[in-house]
Structure 1
Amino acid sequence: MSTESNSHGNHSAENGSSIHHAVQIDASFLSEVEGKMQELPRLLSRSAGRDSCCIFRVPQSLSEINEKAYQPHIVSIGPFHHGEPDFQMIQEHKWRFLSDLLLRAKSKGVVLEDFFKAVARMEERIRKSYSKTLEFDGQDLIRMMVLDGCFIIELFCKVERIVPADHEDPLFTMAWVLPFLMRDLLRLENQIPYFVLQELFDLSVGSGSHSLAKLALGFFNYMVQRPLHVLKKYYDKEGMHLLDLFRMSYIPDCQEEERRPSRFLRRIRCAKKLNQAGVRFKPRKTRSILDIKFKNGVLEIPVLTIDDFWSSLFLNFVAFEQCYSHSTKYITTYATLMGCLINTPADAGFLDDHKIIENYFGTDVEVARFFNNVGKDVVFDIRRSYLSKVFEEVNEYYQNEWHVRWAGFRHTYFNTPWSFVSAAAAVVLLLLTMIQSFYAIYAYQNPPKNH
């Protein structure tokens, strides 16, 4: 009996020291698993990869770097931040703006019901515009779109003075409110589809001398102040939303193209190192800050005025291009190049000295930190970018040994007026010494003849 027990124990040890118990697979367990398999994704819906989906929650990999850049501060537009208590102040003013808009619309025979019916026909299309499955029922979603859309249109009309505005309106008399509204209306998570705005605009304002794009670009121009002839080119454009429309107004005429692999086609060095290798930097006059050129050793970069507004806008541009797979990647490419050039505070100061950066953002340290962060966790295809030729040609120039030697000579002898004077004096002294030596040798070889 004892032998048999030991034999059984040894057999158990050979197959594993622990005792395994059978798991009971019942019908409720299987039903739960099958139910999970049938559930549709909600936080990132299946429609998020389609071209119709253009409004996204910013990925954590981007938002954790600068969360405040992506979230609204005083006004909620659309469903992602709807109902949050921080936005209650402006939420109350939305109803007042809607009332003002309806008073004018009634003169055209348009009433509130017409707005709701127009937006109701778009409900499914609206839902497909968001990356997250919206929990709002149809009536709540339609009411939100009408209220937020009409608030934006009335705000544009009042600021652009195409309708009378109350000079005592606190949204306009309090200096801090309007700049914050402008920033919030250009945050990726704070958008409604452009086609909703266009429909509400057509009902309330109509097609006259003003287009929705004209009013929108004019409104935001109070913060960036570009010439009107630059904006006019985009008065008939339609973006996916306001952020996309504004982004489009910066896109240069050059196209994204795919270049062949090359040992020079990679990221470039920082501004200081390029300058030491002979690359010169020059501010470029053009309608778009993205229009960068490189020719004959000169890198021409449009002047960038960087401040709190632009830094927030810049991050949201990049976030949109990263999330919306059907978008071009112009801003991402520009951000990558500037991130390469501004690697240290010294690089930021160098570009400031060369009038390429106008720094209203903070210290050179803060500027360098911003551009170091903006390219983190960003997908960038250097072969298929509108600046691929610039990357390639700058690297080719940088690795040319003759350019490096000439730049070193220039920095050594012509970098300051005193070094130039010293170099010039040395050259003159060398010439005089050569002339003196020449005459001495000539006199020795050709002594004067005695008569």
Structure 2
Amino acid sequence: MDDEHIVSIHDEIELHSRKVVRSIEAGEGSSGAGQHRPATAMEVKIEMLKRAGAQPGAVQASKIQKVIFLLRDHKCFVKYFEPKVASIGPIHHGNPKYELGERYKLRLAYEFVKGFSCNINGNTLDDDIISNLYGKIKKEIKQLRGCFEEEVTKNYDDEALAWILFVDGCAILQYIFCAAPPTLTASNKFSELNIKNDSVAFAQQDLFLLENQVPYRLLKLLMRYSGKEAELNESIERFIGSVTYQQTKPQQKQRDPTHLLDLLRTRLLGPPPGRKAEPSSSRCPFTHQEDPDWQTYRNVQELKAAGIHLKRSKNDSYLGNISFTRRFGFGFYPGYLWLPPITVDDSTGPKFMNLIAYEMCLDFENDFGISSYLSFLDSLIDEANDVKYMRKARVLHNFLGSDQEVADLFNAIGTDLVPNPEAYKDVKIQIQKYYDTHWMTYMAQFRHDHFSSPWTIIAFLGVLLVLALTAVQAWFAVFPHSSDNGKK
């Protein structure tokens, strides 16, 4: 991977250098007798430096690109970024190990095109129908090519790239339509297409790899020409909901996504929270007072020991829906940390790692919402007992394996993350303030020692009853004739 990365950088620099040389030579052509003096190495470097300074710092939409080398070259993470069944788009196209996936894609693409409200001769499509739809994609190829980084499409001419996008776009929409049909009573289309269930499951993971994306603009184009745009949009909503385990649709209209991975990220995070006015002095520069990055608790078990209980967030399951409250709102014991429910299975690692890679793209201006959530979750999970308590609180569903496997997964994902320092800032400050209140810790410890089970509660009440009876008996022993004296 290192050599490949170095070669790609070298090629990019050399290509840019040739462009700079040509521009310098063209600029000097007007002087002298039309003689072109070759640009010196120093002139090329100076021109590259000037052009770099003139480039804009950010763009509106991130281009589809390879995973940043910091993640791709990590031996523990590389497995999360490579397709399992099918390559989608130009980056992994042509790899022999995805030959079966290519056959599946052609079947799905054919089924999608066959569903058009067009003239069909039996079970065979008219060649003109396919040529016509492909031609529409080819007309947009300049704009579609612009959705990718130049490096990943430079080896494909317009005709080859248009065909790749045509087949892959049709296959994606048909896969989603089969996986999440508009009606729940629809038959299993995958079995009718002779696609095995294991390939269906792995293909779902492949759809959300950063290097396996196609422009959402392509999907919208194909949906518009299909004659069933509303049904396909409904299928996409249902499909994303099944992947995120969210039962409700977003309440407000959101921007058009860049690709399916971007749509997944938006649905997981939910609508952006409203901005709060920052206090004039939110943190002291010389101490850790009210600094959300300065926390003395390490995991769920320590929070539990301090009297903080985990609760499942109400209303929705957006990852940003994390809050902290105290009983009755008056700061009394105990405290409650509200977390959105999360389901952990075999797809969790690839899904979150590709979302992290997407947020790390240099041209993607974002708030690192996924990275911040995973960093916060990693601060709660150290070992299997933390996962066990989260399961009991119904904020985590474990379909991966043992609780230790879940802990290991989040500890690995949380390595070297750089979260947004403003994310969950208020929650962290409230938790730390509560954690620093020692009498609450003592009260929590007393409750854990003496009221952790019904039997200890019964025993405690029994002791109180014995003490009360002993006190009454002592009273009558000390004042045996008090009632008789009153009568006299």
TM-score above 0.5, yes or no: yes
Displacement of 1:342: 0.8
Q: 298, 303, 312: which one pairs with 1:283? A: 312
Paired residues for 1:25-424 under 5 Å: 31=40, 49-63=58-72, 64=74, 65-105=76-116, 107=118, 111-124=130-143, 126-130=145-149, 132=151, 134-135=153-154, 136-161=156-181, 165=189, 167-171=191-195, 174-207=196-229, 209-212=230-233, 214-221=234-241, 225-227=245-247, 230-231=248-249, 233=251, 238-253=256-271, 255=273, 257=275, 259-260=278-279, 261-262=282-283, 263-267=289-293, 269=297, 270-290=299-319, 291-296=321-326, 297-323=335-361, 325-383=364-422, 385=423, 387-424=424-461
Between 80-89 and 317-326, the greater mean CA deviation after superposition: 317-326
Contact 2:306–2:435 at 8 Å: present in 1 too? yes
Displacement of 1:51: 2.6
SS at match of 1:326: coil
Give the aligned partner of residue 13 of structure 2.
Answer: none
Change in Cα spacing, 1:198 to 1:398, as seen in structure 2 (3 Å) is same
Give the aligned partner of residue 10 of structure 2.
Answer: none
CA-atom RMSD, angstroms? Answer: 3.5
Measure the CA separation in 2 of the matches of 1:450 and 1:127. 106
Change in Cα spacing, 1:176 to 1:441, as seen in structure 2 (3 Å) is same
**What are the Cα deviations for residues 304-334 of structure 1, in whole angstroms up to 9, with x where unaligned?**
2211123322222222223263234332222
Contact 1:55–1:131 at 8 Å: present in 2 too? no
Displacement of 1:224: 5.3
Percentage identity across paired residues of the two chains: 24
Measure the CA separation in 2 of the matches of 1:34 and 1:166. 60
| Amino acid paired to 1:271 | V
SS at match of 1:249: helix
Contact 1:47–1:131 at 8 Å: present in 2 too? no
Give the TM-score of the pair, scaled to structure 2.
0.73
Measure the CA separation in 1 of the matches of 2:336 and 2:442. 17
Give the aligned partner of residue 15 of structure 2.
Answer: none
Measure the CA separation in 2 of the matches of 1:252 and 1:166. 31
Contact 1:211–1:235 at 8 Å: present in 2 too? no
Measure the CA separation in 1 of the matches of 2:150 and 2:357. 13
State how many pairs are aligned: 411
Displacement of 1:90: 1.6
**What are the Cα deviations for residues 60-94 of structure 1, in whole angstroms up to 9, with x where unaligned?**
43342322222211111112211111111121333
Displacement of 1:205: 3.4
SS at match of 1:51: coil
Change in Cα spacing, 1:32 to 1:139, as seen in structure 2 (3 Å) is farther
**Between Structure 1 and Structure 2, whose CA radius of gyration is higher?**
1
Displacement of 1:339: 0.8
Give the aligned partner of residue 11 of structure 2.
Answer: none
Contact 1:47–1:128 at 8 Å: present in 2 too? no
Between 240-249 and 178-187, the greater mean CA deviation after superposition: 240-249
Contact 1:62–1:319 at 8 Å: present in 2 too? yes
Measure the CA separation in 1 of the matches of 2:474 and 2:313. 50
| Amino acid paired to 1:168 | E
Change in Cα spacing, 1:253 to 1:151, as seen in structure 2 (3 Å) is closer
Measure the CA separation in 2 of the matches of 1:325 and 1:412. 51
Displacement of 1:439: 4.9
Change in Cα spacing, 1:178 to 1:362, as seen in structure 2 (3 Å) is same
Displacement of 1:54: 3.8
Give the TM-score of the pair, scaled to structure 1.
0.79
Change in Cα spacing, 1:440 to 1:314, as seen in structure 2 (3 Å) is same
Displacement of 1:100: 3.6
Contact 1:234–1:249 at 8 Å: present in 2 too? no
SS at match of 1:72: coil
Contact 2:62–2:364 at 8 Å: present in 1 too? no
Displacement of 1:447: 11
Contact 1:115–1:203 at 8 Å: present in 2 too? no
Q: Which runs of 5+ in 2 are unaligned?
A: 1-37, 50-54, 120-127, 284-288, 327-334
